[in-house]
Amino acid sequence: MSLTAKQIIEAGKAILGIEFGSTRIKAVLIDETGKPIAQGSHTWENQLVDGLWTYSIDAIWHGLQDCYADLRKDVAVQYGTEIESLAAIGFSAMMHGYMAFDKNEQILVPFRTWRNTNTGEAAAALSELFVYNIPLRWSISHLYQAILNGEEHVGDIDYLTTLAGYVHWQVTGNKVLGVGDASGMIPVDPKTKNYSAEMIEKFDQLVAPKGYSWTLTDILPKVLVAGENAGYLTEEGAKKLDPSGHLKAGVPVCPPEGDAGTGMVATNAVKQRTGNVSAGTSSFSMIVLEKDLTKPYEMIDMVTTPDGSLVAMVHCNNCTSDLNAWVNIFKEYQELMGIPVDMNEIFGKLYNHALTGDADCGGLISYNYISGEPITGMEEGRPLFVRSAGDKFNLANFMRAHLHASVGVLKIGNDILFNEEKIRVDRITGHGGLFKTKGVGQRILAAAINSPISVMETAGEGGAWGMALLGAFLVNNTEKRSLEDWLEEVIFAGNTGIEIAPTAEDVAGFNTYIENYRACLPIEEAAAKVKR
């Protein structure tokens, strides 16, 4: 006889996944089958401090504790009980960035997030040195840029990690990182499932004249793959997560991962010839490769799945933030007119109306650049809506232009994979906020990358659910399956979701939109030069 959700929680058999997203920290509690049974969240925002995007250490811990408290509240309301123990925990966060600590565990400079684009000189130099594309947001780019800038703190570095690695370290005492997140610090060798020994040696030789007391291997986290034990929740860690004191120490913790890895897990896309697209504040596509690309591309990052398979990643700094801002304008209009506001209804009506617009958006163009966009060479962002007098300016085309913009940069990168590298995929699955309105974001993305797109009912669960599944893989994979087989056979049981294929008209229209988009990029570039 199967246990109820309440019995699972009280028996300490529930599994918790927590993910630090760009705008929300989310906790998902699952049962032994992987089904979500409770959740909590905390809303937060990055801050621009001294020209760099950051979150404070206080904000990280306040956010984590508030998110967990919200989860406890949900458990209390739904089941009338308390979380005392768990079968496993996993922590995930936005990838990349720079968190450098001294030997006293004090952060040396404010956390530099993936969003910063000040590392151009370093990224270019390292890409040339490694003969490998090193993106602006990778930890190694941030480290080398700090060295090039002559920042004094570099000599005092004792440990360098990501946000997920930091939280995991503080609650377990272990300086480790899942291989997927580690592959966004410095390239990983898929054969060894560890940092590239060749690139570490090249970097150490490059900075040797500086005379630092450390080498890269000294300061980087140890790399672990999915299914390996990454430590246990300490007494101090339990208090940091749950100040109320209910949660007991000793819970097994799986390797901390990046949001790209949890997205792959949540969409059952860790197998070769599968892929996923995550579309929220930022967007990225992940295609699991059968073999390496023929050459490095500046627009394509090479990372790995949580179990170490090679992945081609197209990462865009901007996705739905500008679109959401425009939708809020319509919300304000409704409030001004005294009409009751239901945000789900507003999104649903506007998104579906967009599909009645012209396939090429009637000539209208939107640049959704809240921040810089490396793929199109923009160091800074200026959200812009562009049209000429002869364009077809109506609400449907206006909304469709913003939907196209949300995945436009993603298309530019994926066109390389599909058109130049001739990559083949069997299934691409979408997840994230863009896909909450049924069928709309799915159809727009299918047109953008000219490929069928699947969306599962679990699409809205996102990375926190994917992280919880990695926790379940640690403790419940009794038959020692591979991660891809365990997800396919145990969690998803063959479910591939609902698929929408692109139409020829939509594909042609999106191609025209992108031609116009590329042609007008100098307008965006000029706008970014205006300081205000």
Asked whether residue 243 is assigned to any structural domain, the reply reads no
Q: Is 55 within a domain? A: no
Quick one: 273 and 331 in the same domain? no
* 113 and 148 co-located in one domain: yes
Q: Within a domain: residue 177?
A: no
- Alpha helix stretches (DSSP H) within 88-196: 120-130, 139-148, 163-172, 179-182
**Token pair 């430590």 in the structure block, residue:** 231
Are residues 121 and 215 both part of a single domain? yes
What is the spatial distance between Cα 448 and Cα 329, in angstroms, rounded to a whole number?
26
- Which tokens in the block code for residue 400? 């469709």
Q: What is the dihedral of CA 405, 407, 412, 415, to 10 degrees?
A: -140
Is there a contact between 350 and 340 (Cβ–Cβ < 8 Å)? Answer: no
Same domain, residue pair 293 and 151: no
Given its phi and psi angles, is residue 209 left (phi above 0), alpha (psi -120 to 50 degrees) or beta? alpha
Statement to judge: residues 214 and 112 lie in one domain? yes
* 180 inside domain: no
339 and 487 share one domain: no
Q: Which domain holds residue 111?
A: 96-161+186-219
CA gap 137, 123 in Å, rounded? 9
Spatial contact of 429 and 396, defined as CB atoms under 8 Å apart: no
User: Are residues 393 and 517 both part of a single domain?
Assistant: yes
Residues 462, 434: one domain?
Answer: yes
Residue 181 belongs to some domain of the structure: no
Under 8 Å between Cβ of 387 and 359: no
Q: Is residue 244 part of a domain?
A: no
Rounded Cα–Cα distance for residues 75 and 73 (Å): 5
Q: Work out how many domains the chain is built from and give that number.
A: 3
**Cβ neighbours of residue 411 under 8 Å, at least 6 residues apart?**
448, 449, 510, 514
pLDDT in tens, the chain (532 residues): 578 999 999 999 999 999 999 889 999 999 999 999 999 999 999 999 999 999 999 999 999 999 999 999 999 999 999 999 999 999 999 999 999 999 999 999 999 998 888 999 999 999 999 999 999 999 999 999 999 999 999 999 999 999 999 999 999 999 999 999 999 999 999 899 999 999 999 999 999 999 999 999 999 999 999 999 999 999 999 999 999 999 999 999 999 999 989 989 999 999 999 999 988 888 889 999 998 899 999 889 999 999 999 999 998 989 999 999 999 999 999 999 999 999 999 999 999 999 999 999 999 999 999 988 988 989 889 999 999 999 999 999 999 999 999 999 999 999 999 999 999 898 899 888 898 899 999 999 999 999 999 998 765 557 899 999 999 999 999 999 999 999 999 999 877 789 999 999 999 999 999 999 999 999 999 999 887 7
- 395 domain-assigned: yes
- Whole-prediction pTM value? 0.86
Domain with 150 in it: what CATH number? 3.30.420.40
pLDDT value of residue 1: 54
- Note whether 354 and 431 are same-domain residues: no
For residues 314 and 327, membership in a common domain is answered with no
Q: How do 47-49 and 194-195 pair as beta strands? A: unpaired
Cα separation values, 498 from 36, 205, 297, Å: 20, 51, 32
Asked if 430 and 399 sit in the same domain, the reply is no
385 in the same domain as 346 = yes
Q: Is residue 82 part of a domain?
A: no
Q: Containing H/E element for 523?
A: helix 521-528
